[in-house]
Amino acid sequence: ALAMKPQVIFVLGGPGAGKGTQCAKIVESYGYTHLSAGDLLRAERMREGSEFGQLIDSYIKDGKIVPVEITINLLRKGMEETMRLNQDKFRFLIDGFPRNQDNLQGWTSVMEDKADVKFVLFFDCSDQVCIDRCLERGKSSGRTDDNRESLEKRIQTYLQSTRPIIELYQKQGQVRTVDASRSVDEVFADVKALLEKEG
């Protein structure tokens, strides 16, 4: 059979909005593959022989967005590997990407012909909720950016660079917004309704 073209949902929202949590729940119920750009970068940072380890390390600690050449390759490989192992796995949740203009341009130049973006799933909550959740998680996460100093920078980057990308998609009618300030199950109920409507 002919391989299907990858179908992508971009999952965006502030730091700690619940992107990863909700993606894990979507994977449990639907045939999606979850690719978190942040997780892929953290794994690449630890990989023996990676030439980008130190760069990724310092960008993440500073809440800055890693140059897209690095991220797009990790995402592309993740998608290709998934589809090579199982042709039926052509639906992807791309979590935490694209975060800025550079990311968007990188996606367009490398992936535009190779994948269809269906819409942006936007987890919307206040900065305070984001900060509280990340600080709480920071007690045990071991993430180098779950501290007040890094969080301030992550929020700044989100407001300055990522919100404009969400607005761009919004203007094209491509954003599906979920109120992410509620409980995990309440948020997921909305996510489910939305995915079932979109088909």
Q: In what order do the strands lie in the sheet with 175-179?
A: 32-36, 91-95, 7-13, 116-124, 175-179
R_g of the chain, CA atoms, integer Å: 16
Q: Does 166 bind ligand UP5 (CB under 6 A)?
A: no
The tokens for 112 are 């535009």
Residue 179, both tokens:
């109120």
> By the 8 A CB rule, do 20 and 36 touch?
yes
20 is in an annotated binding site: yes
Q: Please tell me whether 197 is known to bind a ligand.
A: no
Query: Does the protein bind ligand UP5 through residue 106 (CB under 6 A)?
Result: no
Q: 20: closest CA among 141, 159, 118?
A: 141
Q: With binding defined as CB under 6 A, does residue 184 bind ligand UP5? A: yes
Which residue number is nearest to ligand UP5 in terms of Cβ?
A: 38
For ligand UP5, the binding residue among 6, 13, 78, 106 (CB under 6 A) is: 13
Q: 47: annotated binding-site residue?
A: no
When asked if residue 20 is in the footprint of Mg ion (CB under 5 A), the reply is: yes
Interacting residues with ligand UP5 (CB under 6 A): 13, 15-21, 36-38, 41, 59-60, 63-66, 71, 96-97, 99, 103, 133-134, 137, 145, 154, 183-184, 187
